[in-house]
Chains A and B, each alone.
Chain A
Amino acid sequence: MDVTIVVLTLAAAVGAGTPLALAALGALLSERAGVLNLGIEGLMLVGAVNAFIVAEVSGQPLLGLVAGAAAGGALAIIHAFLSITMRANQIVAGLALVLLGTGIAMFLGQPIEGQPLSARLPDTSLPLLSEIPILGRILFDQDVVVYGTWVVIAAATFYLMRTRTGLAVRAVGEAPATADVMGIRVAAVRYAHVVASGVFAGAGGAYIILARVPAWAQDGTTAGLGWIAIALVVFASWRPWRALAGAYLFGVALRANFALQAAGFTAVPAEFLSMLPYLVTVAVLMVITATDTRERLGAPTALGVPYVRDER
């Protein structure tokens, strides 16, 4: 394999990792506020199908992105309502959301099955930066969403770690009762962040269809990325930057498979290469949980526990 293939693979890996980074950021925000959202896969699918339809009708891929994000956010309200107001089991509610999202996406997507998208998101290489040898090609010859993701990740880190509101969010995820006493509106914070998780997951799904795989495929559009995004949050120990890094690593794993096949590497069957990212995730989770405590990893203490004032 020569250098060009490696560079092309890494550039593709950044693109492949971007929807994952967006979706993982969404899952992370919700979890930081104490709500586990397992519905990411469904939210991504709904985002993708709406992005396709809106982009195709309007001819504006960016409008598609907005529509995808909005659709994800709207669907996430259901999860917020069930897990916050109705105190439902968040795990089951999230799975139900996946089912609902998949159903809606397949329903709306049936007429456009296999249809290619004409209004794709164009590449926008950054002037000067893209001239840097190798690195420029990998990082700065991408589209606006890739750059936008860096901004969003940086903003999220700043928000969570350096702002008052971010502190309030973390308080809600760690100790909702204390936050409540401090005057923080626990339910409102949780609602906002669950909806945000839908917005980012929807944007991630939209990005897949607008830039990565610009044709609607009932069973292939998200291909389980939403689930990987949830695993990534643990992997990233609830920190946005690490989620971005993890997403790119996953991107490399996903694209290396293609590159190896294209290069005629057949010693290991393609299916086994495809298994690797999942096996690595399992192995990494086992190692970090064996060596680190939950607290040191940074898991929000109240994650998955409905908050009920006056109880306990």
Chain B
Amino acid sequence: MTAPSTTAAPARRVRFERRARAPRWLQVVVPVVSVVAALLFGAVFLVATGHDPVEVYRTILRVSYTTGFGITDTLRSATPLILTGLAAAVAFRFKLYNIGGEGQLYIGAVAASGIALAVGEVVPVPVAVAAVVLGGAIGGMAWVAVPALARAYLGTSEIITSLMLNFVALYAMRYLIFGSDTFWRDPGATTFPQGRRLPENATFYEFGTTRVHLGLVIAVIAAVAVYLVVTRTRWGYRWRVFGDSPPAARYAGISRTKVIVSVLLISGALAGLAGAGEVAGRAFRLDPQGLAINLGYTGIIVAALARYNPLAVVPVAVLVGGLLNAGPALQSLPERVPDAISTILTAAILLFALGGELFVRYRLRLHGDGEAEAAPPEPGEPVPEASAADSDDEEGARWM
């Protein structure tokens, strides 16, 4: 697919020139072309491994995107991805690389299910559901607090600390189920240990006969809320200044530590909410098997595909959720296509989108193109607007 041969070497024939502003149409075209390119890549891969791509894609469409039942199932799969996608989008957008969404989701699920088990039977439904939602958010926040504070006060890379804590969370959750007699474990399950079933009162409302649950509403509200906070509030403004240029934020008197801590806490809360939704809306118990499908990591993919735009996260999560949702159906095809093709397609879409990003940020100029020579400053001369618009600036890539 991405052969480096053409672009790596040619010394000065092709020049990239930074755009001051990306045209809107390009911001739509790039993701669309990425999806098409990824499907072509997937087709090549399928043919190479002896499968029929047309049959596979037809099945994916049928199972996830075109029938009523399929669409509602897709929406259910997309629900946690909207939230983990938002968690990643809100942090990555400001160059705070929270890779710990997975762990925050687990701890959110632990907290939410713990609260549901504790109070589910004694308080009225709205209170119980609100407590579960709040519990999930607080659980996720608590889990991100360590990387957030370490980054803000010690300068420790949040990438590695948040990542390491994913494993700690996974083992913590396993302990709660497989440990001898914890509060979360179902004492009646004799054959294989599993979580206690949550009381009915504390689970999410399901719409009609579908399995779409309240979590979807919460996720969409969260997307709009994050969008408004980022674009319309003073908080969001400060974060943006910090994200674009930490030195400028310093001169403007914006507290670095406050931005880091608040952005990461919100990110963790969103991932924790996804965990609450998974236990209260789908699994109805704390179930390490049911959660361990990389929702946290996939959220980062969703966020990147959505170009860290909170509103775009919703449709992208539906696209990715549908792809992943269709996986199991592929195994029932006569030729038994491994469901991992869904993962490969998702990864390919993202890889093409990342590559395409170059064309959003830069204009491609052939050397000798008259217009190119006249307008921009000569290479070597400082380009004043370049550094402010740079989306991969040094401080952001700081990761140690």
* Docked-complex contact B392 and A306, CB < 8 angstroms: yes
Knowing A104-B344, A107-B340, the reply to whether A95 touches B297 (Cβ < 8 A) is: yes
Is the CB of A275 closer than 8 A to any CB of chain B? yes
The answer to whether B340 and A86 touch across the interface, beta carbons within 8 angstroms, is: no
A267 within 8 A of B: no
B334 interface residue, CB < 8 Å from A?
Answer: no
**Could you say which of B67-75, B172-180, B252-260 contacts chain A?**
B172-180
Count A interface residues, CB 8 Å.
65
Decide if A55 is an interface residue (CB 8 Å cutoff): no
**In the complex the two chains form, what is the Cα distance from A191 to B4 in whole Å?**
9
Q: Which residues of A contact B357 (CB under 8 A)?
A: 86, 88-89
CB pair B340 A103 closer than 8 Å: yes
Query: How many B residues, CB 8 Å from partner?
Result: 70
Contact A271 B297 (CB under 8 A): no
B330 CB to nearest chain A CB (Å): 11
Q: Please tell me which stretch of A122-130, A136-144, A286-294 contacts chain B, meaning at least 4 of its Cβ atoms lie within 8 angstroms of it.
A: A286-294
Check B343–A99 contact: CB distance below 8 A: yes
Residues of B near A309 (CB, < 8 A) are 379
Instruction: Verify if B99 is at the interface (C-beta below 8 Å from A).
Output: yes
Contact A308 B16 (CB under 8 A): yes
Q: Does A305 contact B (CB under 8 A)?
A: yes
B247 within 8 A of A: no
Q: Is A210 an interface residue (CB 8 A)?
A: no
CB of A92 within 8 A of CB of B171, answer no
User: Using Cβ atoms and an 8 Å threshold, which residues of chain A touch B172?
Assistant: 271, 275
Chain A residues with Cβ below 8 Å from B18 are: 311
Are the CB atoms of B379 and A278 closer together than 8 Å?
A: no
A90 to B391, CA, bound (A): 12
Q: In whole angstroms, how far apart are the Cα atoms of A206 and B358 in the complex? A: 34
Query: Which residues 365-400 of B sit at the A interface, judged by CB distance below 8 A?
Result: 379-380, 382-383, 386-387, 391-394, 397-400
Known A271-B178, A285-B157; 14 more pairs at CB < 8 Å: A81-B4, A82-B355, A91-B99, A96-B304, A100-B344, A100-B347, A103-B346, A104-B344, A188-B8, A224-B167, A227-B167, A234-B157, A285-B161, A303-B400
3 closest pairs, A vs B, by CB?
Answer: A304-B397, A103-B343, A106-B340
Could you pull out 28 A-B pairs where Cβ atoms are within 8 angstroms? A38-B159, A80-B4, A86-B357, A86-B358, A87-B361, A89-B392, A90-B397, A92-B304, A92-B354, A93-B351, A93-B354, A95-B300, A103-B340, A103-B343, A103-B344, A110-B340, A227-B167, A231-B164, A234-B157, A271-B175, A272-B171, A282-B164, A285-B160, A289-B155, A289-B157, A304-B397, A311-B18, A311-B387
